Chains A and B, each alone.
Chain A
């Protein structure tokens, strides 16, 4: 780590510069050692946020009754989140309260995920455990609050931990699992699913491109260059695949968050 420049050179001499976990464990560039230290991923995150706020802010400020193409596209995403995720899971009555939250989540995760394939960023802003964890934490707070508000905390816990219609002895097994589900499994699964997807996506694309670089340019024996075409094609395909994954993970995160919150509500209708 102390002489990354050197190691890169030496590595380049005897093989492709494949990605490592160091791509995600970066040196602190600004304010090192303080709670406000920044590494490369955090800077990507801040820049992506700024761009997103400016673009969406201008779109919203200029929003007209008769939408243009761009406004139509933005509205399509908003309506997709509203109709296909929130209203689909919760229905209109309940869902209205959570529209801003789920929309925030979807837009932010989508933009942050897409940073992974934007040249110059080349890493998803969600590619540290923390960002997905913060989103999962928000979801966690919301479904606990919803449960406590709609049923009362005691009643909510009773319904979750001791589901009706189960023979009493089963509770010995079931209750700890349910408690674990409520406290750990839901937020951690949300976090890991998103984080691991972003890490894996970055590594997949980076491996393809590093191999391309090696085979096409750096390899001593030029006979192998033919392989570079294949790895380049793979890199292209994986990049497109990452766009799909970025959107898919944003959708899944928003969908599961909505579903978890909805589970805290009493089952009526």
Chain B
């Protein structure tokens, strides 16, 4: 191993062909990394980041849409509720109105019917009274004629007799 001591220094002396090959190889590798390897992986990284960020954005958008839809729905629901209450109130008011109307009309009708009835009753009573008066007169005349049997044909006597009789009747009553 004596030659090793002499050769040791040669380890640290670059050889020309070694330099040539080192440079060629490094150039090839560097071109590969600069032109292909790094851009390719960078593209993959970028695409992945974009996808992830896009996904997050999409999720956020969806959440926002959902919240908007919910708010809209709730607003619609509350207006619907208010409207329903209003309709109910209106209906109730109208119903009481109708009832009041009907009652008033019925009362009016009833009053009219009552009035009519009373009126017709009164007229019938009068008619009855008039006809009664006539019939009673005739009856009494016939009766008196039969009783007196004679000269009561004269109308003046007849009428005065009836009147006096009626007066008697009235007075008796």
Q: Which residues of A contact B (CB under 8 A)?
A: 1, 18, 20-22, 24-25, 28, 31, 34-39, 41-42, 45-46, 49, 52-53, 56-57, 60-61, 63-65, 74-75, 78, 99-101, 103-104, 107-108, 128-131, 133-135, 138, 199
- Given A128-B18, A129-B12, A130-B15, check contact A60 B7 (CB 8 Å): no
* Cross-chain contact B14 with A133 (CB below 8 angstroms): yes
Q: Is residue B73 within 8 Å, beta carbon to beta carbon, of the partner chain? A: no
- Given A53-B28, A104-B29, check contact A130 B10 (CB 8 Å): no
Give the CA-CA distance A35 to B48 in the complex, in Å: 47
- What 1/0 mask marks residues of chain B from 1 to 36 whose CB sits below 8 Å from any chain A CB? 101100110111111111111110110111011101
* Cross-chain contact A138 with B26 (CB below 8 angstroms): yes
Q: Taking each of A21, A101, A133, which has the highest tally of chain B beta carbons within 10 Å of its own beta carbon?
A: A21
Residues of A within 8 A of B3 (CB): 1, 22
A112 to chain B, nearest CB (A): 9
B40 to chain A, nearest CB (A): 4
B141 to chain A, nearest CB (A): 135
Chain B binding surface, main DSSP class: helix
Nearest-neighbor residue (CB-CB) of A125 within chain B = B25
Residues of B within 8 A of A129 (CB): 11-14
Give the CA-CA distance A241 to B8 in the complex, in Å: 25
**Residue contacts A-B, CB under 8 angstroms, 29 given:** A21-B4, A21-B7, A22-B7, A36-B20, A38-B17, A38-B21, A39-B17, A39-B18, A42-B18, A49-B29, A53-B28, A56-B32, A57-B36, A60-B40, A61-B40, A64-B44, A65-B48, A78-B38, A78-B41, A104-B30, A104-B33, A108-B29, A129-B12, A130-B19, A131-B18, A133-B14, A134-B22, A134-B26, A199-B11
Q: Taking each of A49, A60, A135, A138, which has the highest tally of chain B beta carbons within 10 Å of its own beta carbon?
A: A60
Q: Within residues 121 to 141 of chain B, which ones have a CB less than 8 A from any CB in chain A? A: none
Residues of A within 8 A of B21 (CB): 36, 38, 42, 45-46
* Cross-chain contact B22 with A130 (CB below 8 angstroms): yes
* Cross-chain contact A21 with B33 (CB below 8 angstroms): no
Residues of A within 8 A of B18 (CB): 39, 41-42, 128, 130-131
Give the CA-CA distance A130 to B22 in the complex, in Å: 7
Q: Is residue B51 within 8 Å, beta carbon to beta carbon, of the partner chain? A: yes
Give the CA-CA distance A53 to B10 in the complex, in Å: 31
* Cross-chain contact B13 with A22 (CB below 8 angstroms): no
* Cross-chain contact B51 with A49 (CB below 8 angstroms): no
Residues of A within 8 A of B13 (CB): 129
Give the CA-CA distance A52 to B36 in the complex, in Å: 14
Please name the 4 residue pairs, one residue from A and one from B, whose CB atoms are nearest each other, closest first.
A37-B17, A130-B18, A104-B33, A60-B40
